[in-house]
A and B are shown apart, each in its own frame.
Chain A
Amino acid sequence: MSVIIILLIVSICISGGFLAAFLWSVRDGQFDDDQSPAQRMLFDQKITKK
C-alpha cells in the first residue's frame, strides 16, 4: 500500500506541471486578448517585406 505515496507524489508533480504551464501562459499574455489570435490563425502566411 505504501506505493500509494509514490503515486500521490507523481500525480501532484504532473498537475503541478500543468499549473506551471497555465501560469506561464497567463504571464505571457495569452489570456489578455481572446479575439485577435482566433482570427489571426485564419490568415495565410505573413507577407514578407518587399
Chain B
Amino acid sequence: MSNASTTLSCYHCGNEVPDASIATAEKYFCCSGCKTVYELLNDYELCTYYELNKKPGLTQNRISRKEKYAFLEDAEIQKKLIHFSNGQQSQVSFYLPQIHCSSCLWLLENIQKVDEGIVSSRVNFTKKEIFIVFDPKITSLRKVVETLESVGYEPHLSLNEISSKAGRKTDRTRWYKIGVAGFCFSNIMMMSFADYLAVSNTVDAGIAFMLKAIIVLLSLPVLFYSATEFFISAWNGLKHKYLNIDFPVALALAITFSRSMYEILSGTGSGYLDSMSGIVFFMLIGRWLQARTYQTISFDRDYKSFFPIALNVVKDGSITPTEISKVKENDVIQVYSNEIIPVDAILSKGNAKIDYSFVSGESFPVQVNIGEIIYAGGKQIEGLLELIVVKEVSQSYLTNLWNNPVFTKKEAPKKSTYDIIGKYFTYLVLALGLSAGWYWYGKGEPVLMWNAITTVLIVACPCALLLSENYTNGNILRIFGLNKFYLRSPEMIEKLSKINHIVLDKTGTITQANGANVRYTGKILTPEYRRIIASLLNQSSHPASKLAADFLNEKELSEVVHYKEVEGMGIEGWVSEHHIKLGSSKFVGGAYNNEKPGTKVVAYVDGEIVGEFTISNKYRFGVTKLIQSLKKKYTLSLISGDNDAELENIEDLLGKDSDVLFNQSPQQKLEYINQLQRNYGQNVAMIGDGLNDAGALKQSDLGIAVVDAGNNFSPSSDGIIEATKLTLLDTFIQFAITGKKVILFTFAISVIYNVIGLYFAIQGILSPVIAAILMPSSSITIIGLTYGLTEWAAGHYGLKEYKKQPFPNPN
C-alpha cells in the first residue's frame, strides 16, 4: 500500500506530506497539529508512542478553540460527568473513538506524565473507553479533557453522555452461569460414571446413595440458576401467545429433571441429569458466542450523541457556558467554526455557511443571511456566529422526527424460521411420545408407557437446532465483525438473508460527504484566463466558487474591481481590463454545453462564453461495481434529501426502472419505506448515514448505517458498516444466506442422532448411558460442523482477507 520511498509521510499520522516545510529533527509532518503533538510527547519523553507502531496517530489538521471546554467548569455539568468524587479523588470515564492500536493504549495509560494531577488511567480497548482518576486539587475536569485533546485523543462529549444516567455496566451473569454449569456438568459426569460402573458390580448402598445425593445437589444450580434464561424466554413467548424455540428446550429440561428426580428418589434408575447439565452448558456457550461480538457497539444513538453538551450564551455583554437543556427561547448564543447548532435559531451576526449534509443530505454547504433561520443539526464551517434561539432543543425541527411512532412503539418478538421449525418439531415429538405411550398402554405396560413418553421428550428436544443456530450465527457475527460489519443481534442475519429490495441514501452513503469532483469543459484556458478567472473566484465565499478556485489552483492573483455578487446566481467583476461573469447559465446568459448534468459554474469573458466548471459528487471507491452487482439480484432505489443535480448520473448507475427520489424530508423517507413494505410486501434494507435517514433506518426491515473510520457517530440502526467495506455488501448477504443453509444442514444431521435415541425411547428402554453418549456427541458434532462450514464459506466468499491487513484490528 504505502510507497514511502517516493513520497514523504507524516511521522505522526502517516498522511502524505505536501511539502517538507513542517519538520523537526528529520521528522516530517503533514500539518502543524501533528507536529505539536509530537513535540509535546517529545517534551514529556513519551516517544515510545512512535516506536510501538509506525505512524500511530490520527491527523490533527484542525484548529481547536481555546475556550472550547470552558463549560466543563460548570459544577452541574461536572456532576453529571464525574462518577465519583470525595474531594481527594475524582473518577471519570470518556469514550475515545480514536483508540485503535497498542500505541494508543500505551500513551493513554501513561498520560499522568503530561498532567501531574492524574492519579491513574486505564484503557478498555474493546469499548474504546478510558477510566481516569484525578486529584481535583491539582487538576480539573477541564484540564484533563484538554490534556487528552492535546495529545490527539479528544473525548467524545455529547448531550447523550449527560442525559443517560446509568453507567454502562458490563453484564457478567452469563460468565457466572457458564462457570456454574460447566462445574456441575463435569462433576455430575464423573459421579454418573461411577454410578454406571456400579450397575454391574455390587457396591454397598451407602456409596450408591452418596453418589446420587451429590448428583442431585449438583443439578440444582444448573436448572435453577444457569438454565433460567431458557425458562424466562419460553414464558415470554407464551405471554405473547407463540411458541419460540426456547419453549421445547425448557419443556425438555423440566421433564428431564422431574423424570430423573422420580427415578432417583424411587430407586428405579439413575436419571439423565448428566445429559441435562451438559446440554445447558453447551447451549450457554452458544449464546455467549452470539452475544460477544456486538456487546461493545452502541446501536441506539440518536441526535443526542450528535449534539454538544453546552452552548455559550451571551447575556448583558458576558458569555456564560450553559447546559443545552437550560437554553431558552430568545437567548443569544455563540457558535464557532466546526460546531453543531443544536437549536433552531435566527442568524444575527456573522458569516454563516452551514453544512447540513448530515441532517438533510444536502451535499454542499448553504449560505445563510442575517435574519434567516438556521435549523438544528447544521454545522458552521468557519467563523464565529451569533444566533437568537427560536426553538429549544427538544422542540426543534430535527428532533421532531423522533416523535414519530416508529421510535416509540415496542416491537413484538418476531418469529424466525427456526422458531417455526422448532414449533413443528415440538408437535411432532409430542405426537410421537403420546402414540408410543398409547401403544404401551394398550399392551398393559404402564411402566413402559411412562418411560416412552418421557424419554421421547428428553432425547428429541430440539436443543440441536438451538445449538446449530447459536454457533452458526455466533461465528457469522464474528466474521462480519472482523470485516467491519457489525450487526445488532443474531436475528439480523436471518433478516439480511431475506432482503429483496435495497434503498440507498446518496450523500455520505454512496458519495463522500465532503469532497467533490470538478471538471472543466470548454476552450483551453490560457494562463492569463486561468489567472483572471481564479482571481474573481477568490472573491466569493460561495462553496461552488471555492471548489472551482481550488480546481484552478492559481497562486498569483490579480486585483478585482467593480466586484458584484448576486445571491444564488453568480459573481461579476473586472480583472486586468477583462469583464468576467461566473455563475449559473441564467446569470451568465447561456451555457457552454447543456448535456452534462451537475452543478455548473459558467464562465463568461469579454462577451463570450468560454467554458464551464461542472461540480459533481465524489462517489465512494467501488460503489459503481457494488451497484452493478446488486442490480442483478435486488430491486434498488435511491432516496436523497439533496437536490437533483446528480439525477442523470444516478439514473445511469441504477438503471431506468429504479426509483430515484430527491428533495426528500426525513419523514418522506420513512413513508417511502413503509409503502414498499405495505403495498408491495418487500423486505427492505435501508443503507444510510445521516440523522435524516434515522426514520427510514428504523422503519426498514434491516437498517444499516455507513460510518467513516474514526467517525464516532451513526444513527440508530440494526447494523453498522464501515464505509470502506460497503463494497462487500453483496457478499455479506450471500454469506448470510449460506449461514441459514448451514443451520438447516447441521440440524438435519442432528436428527440422525435423534432417530437413534428415539428408536430406544419408543421401546421404553432408553437407558441413561445411551442418553449420556448420544446427547454430548450430537452437540459436539454440531459445534464442529457449524464452525467448519461457516469458516469454509467465509473463505469461499473471500471474507478472510482481513487477516492480510496489518495490526490495527480493534475488533
Contacts and interface: CB of A to CB of B under 8 A. Distances in A.
Contacts of B46: 47
B631 to A, nearest CB: 39
B187 A4 contact: no
A8 B105 contact: no
Interface string A7-49: 0100110011011001100110101111110011011101101
A35 B113 contact: no
Interface centre among B48, B123, B183 (most CB of A within 10 A): B183
B110 A46 contact: yes
Contacts of A16: 183
A49 to B, nearest CB: 6
A5 B210 contact: yes
B211 interface: yes
A22 B180 CA distance: 9
B124 A32 contact: yes
A30 B125 CA distance: 13
A7 B113 CA distance: 56
Nearest to B292: A34
A15 B186 contact: yes
A19 B179 contact: yes
Contacts of B191: 8
Contact of A4 (B110, B183, B194, B810): B194
Given A26-B176, A49-B112, A11 B190 contact: yes
Contacts of B194: 4, 8
A26 B214 contact: no
A36 B125 contact: yes
B539 interface: no
B187 A1 contact: no
B127 interface: yes
Given A26-B175, A31-B175, A50-B113, A40 B105 contact: yes
Contacts of B203: 1
A35 B206 contact: no
B204 interface: yes
B61 interface: no
Contact of A8 (B110, B170, B175, B210): B210
A15 B109 CA distance: 37
B337 interface: no
B207 interface: yes
Nearest to B190: A11
Given A40-B105, A49-B116, A35 B175 contact: no
B42 to A, nearest CB: 14
B557 to A, nearest CB: 50
Contacts of B204: 1-2
B315 interface: no
A4 B195 CA distance: 12
Contacts of A15: 183, 186-187
A2 B126 contact: no
Nearest to B123: A36
Contact of B106 (A5, A43, A49, A50): A43
Contacts of A23: 176, 179
A32 B109 CA distance: 18
A38 B242 CA distance: 45
A17 B190 CA distance: 17
A5 to B, nearest CB: 6
Nearest to A32: B170
B172 interface: yes
A22 B214 CA distance: 21
A33 B214 contact: no
A36 to B, nearest CB: 4
A44 B109 CA distance: 12
Contacts of B176: 23, 26
A21 B112 CA distance: 33
Contact of B207 (A4, A11, A44): A4
A12 B124 CA distance: 36
B124 A5 contact: no
Given A31-B172, A32-B170, A26 B179 contact: yes
Given A8-B211, A15-B186, A39-B102, A47 B110 contact: yes
A12 B105 contact: no
B207 A2 contact: yes
Contact of A33 (B127, B183, B186, B190): B127
Nearest to A18: B183
A35 B187 contact: no
Contact of A35 (B170, B183, B810): B810
Nearest to A38: B125
B207 A26 contact: no
Contacts of B183: 15-16, 18-19
Contacts of A11: 187, 190
A15 B191 CA distance: 13
Interface in B61-110: 102, 105-106, 109-110
A12 B709 CA distance: 51
B125 A39 contact: yes
A45 B405 CA distance: 55
Nearest to B118: A49
A34 B810 CA distance: 11
Interface in B116-163: 116, 123-127
A11 B707 CA distance: 53
Contacts of B113: 47, 49-50
B355 to A, nearest CB: 35
Contacts of A35: 125-126, 810
A19 B180 contact: yes
A12 to B, nearest CB: 6
A33 B207 contact: no
Given A15-B186, A31-B175, A8 B125 contact: no
Contacts of A19: 179-180, 183
A2 to B, nearest CB: 7
Contacts of A34: 126
A26 B102 CA distance: 24
Nearest to A39: B102
B186 A36 contact: no
Contacts of B210: 5, 8
Contacts of B102: 39, 42-43
A35 B292 CA distance: 13
Contacts of A12: 187, 214
B123 A27 contact: no
Interface centre among B126, B175, B214 (most CB of A within 10 A): B175
A22 B204 CA distance: 36
A34 B293 CA distance: 12
A50 B116 CA distance: 9
Nearest to B203: A1
Given A1-B203, A8-B211, A49-B113, A39 B124 contact: no
23 contacts: A1-B203, A2-B206, A11-B190, A18-B183, A19-B179, A26-B175, A29-B170, A31-B175, A32-B172, A33-B126, A33-B127, A35-B125, A35-B810, A36-B105, A36-B125, A36-B126, A43-B52, A43-B106, A46-B109, A46-B110, A47-B45, A47-B46, A49-B116
The list of the 10 closest CB pairs from A to B, nearest first, reads: A36-B125, A35-B125, A19-B183, A39-B102, A26-B175, A33-B124, A22-B179, A32-B170, A33-B126, A47-B110
Given A19-B183, A22-B179, A43-B102, 19 more contacts: A1-B207, A5-B206, A5-B207, A15-B183, A15-B186, A15-B187, A18-B183, A23-B176, A23-B179, A26-B172, A27-B172, A32-B126, A34-B126, A35-B125, A35-B810, A39-B102, A42-B102, A47-B110, A49-B112
